[in-house]
Amino acid sequence: MKPKLASTIHALWLGAILALPLLPAGCTSTEPLTEVLLVADTDLQIPSELDTIRFEVQGPDGTTRTASASLGGGAARPATLGLVHRGGPLGPMRATVEGLQGGSVRVRREARFSLIAGETKMLRLDLLRSCLGQSCGAGETCELGACRPVDVEPAELEPWAGQPAGLDASLPPEGGVEGGVDGGPDGGPGCSSDASCDDGIACTTDSCDLGTGVCSNLPLDAACDDGLPCTNDVCDAVLGCVAPADHGACAPGSYCDAVSGCTTGPSFAEIYTMIIEPNCAPCHTVRSDGTLDMGTQAQAYLSLFGVTALCGGGSETRVLPRDSRSSLLWRKVADVDLCGLRMPPTGLALSGGDAMAIAQWIDSGALDL
């Protein structure tokens, strides 16, 4: 049974992720709770920049549950999600908190942690403006504008002391936008010069209409040209210059590097010899049930390229050429947006360099070379 969602969300954790309402008032337990409360607030404008906070939590067995809280309309913040242990391993658990506006993800935080037996702890995963557009590597997440490991040490979990504090003190007034856009005839004096409309985004043209006192901040894509033919340079009115790579603009065997442009990627022979054969093939050999076979380089390629995975019930593809982010192989080894368990499932994860090499091979077209 899914919890009823509001600005505050609660769930009980029973071994393999079963979400239920918390115990009603008056019910007591003789055993101390083993619990972590995820807490998320934002310093972004509500609802013009962020209108929803979404939680996704993956348990030790790989099962995933999601819950969302709508913002605005006077909804109380911060949003919380309570994870209460009722048997089974204490971890590791993985939590992803996303801030959405109009259904699109604007900012996200990730954490991997374990509960502490007999203790109620709090883990804050606030969605901050300083992380907008911040791109972190595999196994990292943005916190206070900088990348840090997703792994949260037990000492980083704070004691739960009741209702957590929000970030309201740092939020602009409801309905206003930083940089002087609020105001005008119905909201105060408004802007008085172009300089008073500076939104801090270098690629927008900021101007003030002195007649109405309203600011205008027009994005100019041309101001974001990075000189690389394989990037799509766009001025986002909130994020500033963004340049998503277009790997398809590069020749077969090459991917789009954000610094160098089209760059030759590794061959599948290199990927198999250096990464798959020592780390994957020992388990993924010939099986009677027809699951992934990586026993030889040739069979590994046939089992990966464009093949639908068992995980996800037909919605996942192991390798999608030119699209590593959507390819289950890369997500499995990079421990990102998982379907099932990270691979390898035991021992150390692959290095960031190995995961990057797999991404580069896929984005280069995933050729059988």
Cα–Cα dist 112/168, whole Å: 27
The two three-digit tokens of residue 119, written as one number: 């203790």
Of 270, 320, 271, 310, which Cα lies nearest the Cα of 290? 310
Contact present, 247 and 363 (Cβ < 8 Å): yes
Of 108, 11, 12, 95, which Cα lies nearest the Cα of 60? 95
pTM metric for this prediction: 0.50
Count H helices and E strands in the chain, helices first.
5, 17
At 90 the pLDDT is: 86
Contact present, 288 and 294 (Cβ < 8 Å): no
- Give CA separation, 41 vs 5, 23, 82, 99, 218, in Å: 16, 25, 15, 9, 29
Of 369, 323, 311, which Cα lies nearest the Cα of 63? 311
Task: Give the number of C-alpha atoms closer than 13 A to the C-alpha of residue 250, restricted to the C-beta side.
Answer: 29
Cα–Cα dist 90/115, whole Å: 5
At 228 the pLDDT is: 93
Residue 359: other Cβ atoms inside 10 A: 23
Cα–Cα dist 146/150, whole Å: 12
End-to-end CA distance of the chain: 49
Contact present, 39 and 80 (Cβ < 8 Å): yes
Q: Exposure pattern of 64-96 as b/e (b: 16+ CB <10 Å)?
A: bbebebebeeeeebbbbbbbbbeeeeebebbbb
Contact present, 333 and 347 (Cβ < 8 Å): no
Of 70, 52, 47, which Cα lies nearest the Cα of 171? 47
Q: Tally the residues of the chain.
A: 369
Cα–Cα dist 37/159, whole Å: 10
Cα–Cα dist 235/205, whole Å: 11
Contacts of 259 (CB under 8 A, 6+ apart): none
- Give CA separation, 108 vs 54, 60, 104, 126, in Å: 9, 21, 11, 9
What letter would DSSP give residue 276?
I
**Strand, helix or coil at 268?**
helix
At 15 the pLDDT is: 29
Cα–Cα dist 255/364, whole Å: 4
At 190 the pLDDT is: 66
The two three-digit tokens of residue 368, written as one number: 């059988």
At 287 the pLDDT is: 57
Contact present, 70 and 23 (Cβ < 8 Å): no
Cα–Cα dist 136/45, whole Å: 24
Of 163, 141, 142, 167, which Cα lies nearest the Cα of 46? 167
Residues of the chain with confidence (pLDDT) below 70: 1-31, 73-76, 163, 167-190, 238, 286-290
